[in-house]
């Protein structure tokens, strides 16, 4: 995009001429009178040149200013960009974990970025920077889903209770039916002694 006869204090707005560029607009203020200013934005699906790759990035943006420098800009530059909700849902921790990064000093620096709007298909964000460089839209990665371990079944001794009931229930029924209190008591004592002293393993004599 080209501006001519720019005056000091004039607010300039860049709007891309292609829908393939995720940038909605770039707004900055000229500090000086400049006869001609040019700004182009190039989208890279993979990292351009020798810059470092940024993990979990949506794409890379290359801002190319011509005939003006950082000293010609008053204050910060505002960059608005939009990305598809489908990408955010699939790759980002959440919709508030998407950021614009600036490549400076051989490293990626996260810029202050905020969600300002959303449509049916896209989220729109705004970030601020001091000047133009390489940028990347990226997000905090979605955490891996951790399956909860199934709790182990507690051993409540139901097996022993069933075995004991099988032995006692016939005796209790016999006592209740015929009221043979003495006989019933004797049978219970007999069963208890049998369970305590009976050894289920046969003794084998050594030859």
HEC per residue, the chain = CEEEEECCCCEEEECCCCCCCCEEEEEEEECCCEEEEEEEEEEECCCCCCCCCCCCEEEEEEEEEECCCHHHEEEEEEEEEEEEHHHHHHHECCCCCEEEEEEECCEEEECCEEEEEECCCEEEEEEEECCCCEEEEEECECCCCCCCCCCCCCCCCHHHHHHHHHHHHHHHHHHHHHCCHHHHHHHHHHHHHHHHHCCCCCCCCCC
- pLDDT band for position 204 (50/70/90)? very low
For the chain, the farthest-separated pair of C-alpha atoms sits apart, in whole angstroms, at 120
pLDDT tens sequence across 136-151 = 999 999 887 633 444 5
0.95 exceeded by the pTM? no
pLDDT tens sequence across 7-57 = 999 999 999 888 889 999 999 999 999 999 999 999 998 888 889 999 999
- pLDDT band for position 182 (50/70/90)? low
Higher pLDDT, 161 or 168: 168
- Residue 155 structure tokens: 């051993």
Higher pLDDT, 93 or 150: 93
CATH for the stretch 2-139:
2.60.220
pLDDT at 194 over 60: yes
pLDDT at 165 over 90: no
């Amino acid at each position: 995009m080209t501006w001519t006869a720019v005056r000091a204090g004039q607010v300039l707005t860049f709007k891309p001429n292609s829908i393939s560029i995720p940038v909605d607009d770039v707004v900055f203020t000229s500090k000086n009178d400049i006869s001609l200013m040019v700004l182009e934005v190039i989208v890279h699906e993979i990292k351009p040149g020798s810059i470092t790759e940024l993990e979990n990035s949506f794409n890379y943006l290359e801002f190319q200013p011509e005939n003006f420098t950082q000293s010609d800009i008053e204050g910060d530059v505002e960059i608005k960009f939009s990305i598809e909700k489908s990408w955010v849902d699939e790759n980002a921790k959440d919709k508030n974990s998407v950021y614009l990064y600036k490549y400076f000093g051989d490293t990626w620096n996260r810029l202050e970025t905020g969600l300002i709007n959303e449509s049916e298909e896209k989220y729109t964000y705004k970030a601020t920077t001091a000047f133009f460089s390489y940028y990347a839209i990226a997000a905090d990665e979605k955490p891996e889903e951790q399956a909860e371990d199934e709790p182990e079944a507690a051993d409540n001794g139901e097996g022993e209770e069933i075995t004991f009931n099988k032995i006692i229930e016939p005796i209790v029924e016999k006592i209740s039916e015929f009221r043979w209190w003495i006989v019933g008591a004797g049978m219970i004592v007999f069963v208890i002694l049998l369970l305590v002293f009976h050894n289920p393993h046969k003794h084998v004599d050594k030859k």
